[in-house]
Amino acid sequence: MRGTGVVALLAIYPTLRWPDVAGLVGFLCITMFLHGPLAPLLPAAHEAVLLVTGRAYAPLLVAGVGIAGTLYMEYINYYVYRAALLHPRLERTRESKLVRSTVALFERAPFFCVWMCSWSPLPYWAVRFLAPLSGYDVRRYLLATFLGRGPRYYFIALFGKLLPVSNLALAVITVALIGVAVLIGMVQRGRRRRADTIGEVAPA
């Protein structure tokens, strides 16, 4: 969230200076938001945003901006997830047979796995966990993501110009998906706060 906020602040001047790029700035910020902590809850929201943006800008430009935002967030995600997954409290989970066997399978062809999940219907969140957990090189991780996401973004943006659905319908779907993500995030945050409060007041 903070990474998205920093970019949004830096984008204020170019947006005011060159109004034509306002849509791309908004697309960049939405891309980073959708690849943040709530990404696993929104498996198709970014595709809807790509379709809408692809109708207003050149598909290649949309793909370039989209992949830039994606790589920025995945770089942050890599280290955030790594710190969380390597926490001592998760040692028992890391040493479980399921996790160890999954990591072993990933390590057989990590670059291919990341690349495949980047462009195919396979869940990308899986490699988002496995790459930092296995210690896979972040540069190779981002390169595989770039090679998979880049063409995917381009063709989705290109398809947006051909899709026989109104801009309003696509915009409504996109806003609805983002709204659901925000609502889920707020509910989960409220639950964590209540759990922390209960833990603090519970007798030792």
Q: What is the reported pLDDT for 127?
A: 94
**Degrees to nearest 5, angle at CA 94 with 90 and 95:** 120
Query: What is the reported pLDDT for 185?
Result: 64
Question: What does the block give as tokens for 95?
Answer: 């040493």
DSSP per position, 27-93:
HHHHHHHHTSTTGGG-TTHHHHHHHHHHTTS-HHHHHHHHHHHHHHHHHHHHHHHHHHHTSGGGHHH
pLDDT digits (tens, 9 = 90+) for 85-130: 988 888 888 889 999 999 999 999 999 999 999 999 888 989 999 9
Q: Across the chain, which distance is largest between two alpha carbons, in Å?
A: 63
The pTM score is: 0.75
Residue 8 has phi, psi (to 5 degrees) of -60, -40
The whole-number average pLDDT for the span 149-173 is 83
